[in-house]
Amino acid sequence: MNRKYRKTIIAGNWKMNMLASEVKPFMDALKAAMPKARTCSVALCVPFPLIPALVKASKESRVSVGAQNVSNHAKGAYTGEVSISQLLDLGVKYVIVGHSERREYYGETDELVRDKAKAIIDADITPIICVGESLSQRESGLTMEFVSYQVKAALGTLTPDQIRRCVIAYEPIWAIGTGKTATEKEANEVCAQIRSVIRSITGARIARGVSILYGGSMNAANAEELLSMPDIDGGLIGGASLKTDDFVKIIEATAQ
């Protein structure tokens, strides 16, 4: 982490878990256990039906509310979709875009990720843009090339000021939900490459201010080591964000 230039962020991704009735008990426990020192920004990205309950339960806390997806369309005949204005109206501050599960299961393309990111930025909400390689790509030595392409595809048509407002999450696909994780050095190497790509687009000043998160099975046991790396500015946390004790330990690790 480098707090001199950029924000440290711990963002939970609940995926398709929890019920609205479970949000308040979770938040009550989280607020009680949250460290008093503000060493990072904290967000929870939850399924659409849970957002109103989380907005209510997170009042008088420093937990921001995030969504896991958004339509690239502003409004109209798109049954089942949710627009950025609807999320803004609810009080959402972050939106995840381009998660590997969205890319794999729902066919989201790099172009769609780019369009969604721009819509999010235009609404003055922060996009968390996910990139990451598969196991076969890593074993073939294609990690840097593939991740660099994803970053360029997502950011290539954005202005430097728009890029400054983005968060990038490096999530190696082979480490999501598997319990496997890149070593801290492996993760930092890719995060450093992501920053290098941003630098090539925007210049050094903006690139050093963009927060880059690691999201491959970061947990209470490995968070401190991963967060000690200079180009890892936080975590996009999956399963561990559903457990108050584990999530708090990851937040506490940002103080090290």
| Per-residue pLDDT reduced to its tens digit, 54-90 | 999 999 999 999 999 999 999 999 999 999 999 999 9
Residue 150 lies in a domain: yes
- 171 as an active site residue: the answer is yes
90: Cβ contacts below 8 Å, ≥ 6 apart: 51, 52, 55, 65
Residue 4 lies in a domain: no
User: What is the per-residue pLDDT for 177?
Assistant: 75
Annotated catalytic residue, options 133, 171, 184, 189: 171
Please report which helix (H) or strand (E) contains residue 234, including its range. strand 234-237
Annotated catalytic residue, options 99, 101, 108, 252: 99
191: containing domain: 9-253
CATH of the domain at 105: 3.20.20.70
Residue 3 lies in a domain: no
Q: Which pair of tokens denotes residue 45?
A: 């990205």
Structural domains of the chain, count: 1
56: Cβ contacts below 8 Å, ≥ 6 apart: 24
Residue 1 lies in a domain: no
pTM for the whole structure: 0.96
User: What is the per-residue pLDDT for 173?
Assistant: 92
pLDDT tens by residue, 30-39: 999 999 999 9
- 73 as an active site residue: the answer is no
Residue 2 lies in a domain: no
